[in-house]
């Protein structure tokens, strides 16, 4: 970005993990190296969500004699608990950066996020995630579904919501507005979508930084039509939940009615696209049609208070 981070600022990089030792061994050295490269005070907090605390020795070994890494045990199950533990640990810091334990930061990732935040001063900065497939010839239906086609936007683009797989948040804004991750969504998922919607609803601005890229290796277990459709359903539910939560009590009935009406139009349309794509042997058309159906079914499920436990153990 061409800007040197402010040395007076204190940044925390949060890495929540649950029984992924191989991924931790890969990502921790990369995060340590990047924390050393930025021009401000940066440290790493590894939040172990395993009730048994199984990652402690691995984290301590990877950290070695550096003081940049802190191990934090959060035994309460759920991704929201882990994320909130990181927020509490960072209560005296200026910003927090979230990254998933199954990702890898590209060169300059952390510096790009921090520099953009310091230069433009948005409330949050989100960056792209690039999917890497381990199988040479995965099902074209799955790869063309769009689920793994992550968005790329021009740097500076304002967005309404974001995931915590590549996200910097100004902690001062969270403290001022008393915002945190909803513990009720710990095993359901979508607490990051809700928090970022709450940020924008409170007047915050989330901007895109396309230079701050991370990559994610897609495991074999996710390269199935069942997983893709389940994820699309949960994504639709998360969107609907966040949209309703940031609506006022007067707005909520109208918002819900619009969601029902949209689903009534889009589900038949998606089924038609799926049927056509299947008959015409166009996997992208078929997949995206069914993904649309799944997404709106997820939204309807949220309206009917049906929940999919994405992180059920």
Count up the domains in the chain and report the number: 2
Task: Check residue 276 and give its pLDDT.
Answer: 97
Select from 222, 256, 291 the last residue of a domain.
Answer: 222
Shared domain check, 165 and 26:
yes
Q: What φ, ψ does residue 185 adopt, rounded to 5°?
A: -100, 15
Could you tell me if residue 78 is inside a domain?
yes
- Structural domain span for residue 289: 225-303
Percentage of residues in the chain with pLDDT exceeding 70? 95
Residue 100: how many other CB atoms lie within 10 Å? 20
State CA 82 to chain mean position distance. 13
Could you tell me if residue 243 is inside a domain?
yes
pTM tops 0.85, yes or no: yes
How long, in residues, is the chain?
313
pLDDT of 309 strictly over 80: no
Shared domain check, 94 and 64:
yes
102-133 pLDDT per residue, tens: 999 999 999 999 999 999 999 999 999 999 98
Q: CATH no. for residue 117? A: 3.90.550.10
Select from 174, 205, 222 the last residue of a domain.
Answer: 222
């Amino acid at each position: 970005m061409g800007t040197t981070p402010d040395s007076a600022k204190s940044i925390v990089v949060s890495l929540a993990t649950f029984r992924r030792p191989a991924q931790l061994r890969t990502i921790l050295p990369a995060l340590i190296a990047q924390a050393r490269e930025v021009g401000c005070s940066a440290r790493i907090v590894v939040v172990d969500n395993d009730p048994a605390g199984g990652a402690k020795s691995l984290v301590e070994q990877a950290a070695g004699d550096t003081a940049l890494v802190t191990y934090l045990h959060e035994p309460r199950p759920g991704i929201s608990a882990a994320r909130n533990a990181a927020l509490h640990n960072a209560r005296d810091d200026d910003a927090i950066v979230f990254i998933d334990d199954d990702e890898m930061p590209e060169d300059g990732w952390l510096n790009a996020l921090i520099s953009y935040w310091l230069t433009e001063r948005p409330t949050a900065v989100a960056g792209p995630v690039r999917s890497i497939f381990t199988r040479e010839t995965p099902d074209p239906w799955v790869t063309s579904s769009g689920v793994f086609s992550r968005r790329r936007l021009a740097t500076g683009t304002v967005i309404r919501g974001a995931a915590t797989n590549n996200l910097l948040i100004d902690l001062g804004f969270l403290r001022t507005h008393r915002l945190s991750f909803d513990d009720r969504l710990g095993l359901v998922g979508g607490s990051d979508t809700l928090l970022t919607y709450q940020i924008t609803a409170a007047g915050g601005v989330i901007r895109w930084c396309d230079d701050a890229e991370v990559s994610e290796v897609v495991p074999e277990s996710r390269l199935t039509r069942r997983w893709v459709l389940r994820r699309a359903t949960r994504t639709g539910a998360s969107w609907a939940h966040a949209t309703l939560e940031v609506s006022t009590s007067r707005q909520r009935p109208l918002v819900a009615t619009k969601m029902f009406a949209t689903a009534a139009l889009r589900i038949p349309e998606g089924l038609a696209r799926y049927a056509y794509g299947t008959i015409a042997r166009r996997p992208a058309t078929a997949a995206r049609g069914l993904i649309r159906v799944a997404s709106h079914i997820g939204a309807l499920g949220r309206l009917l208070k049906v929940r999919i436990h994405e992180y059920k153990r």
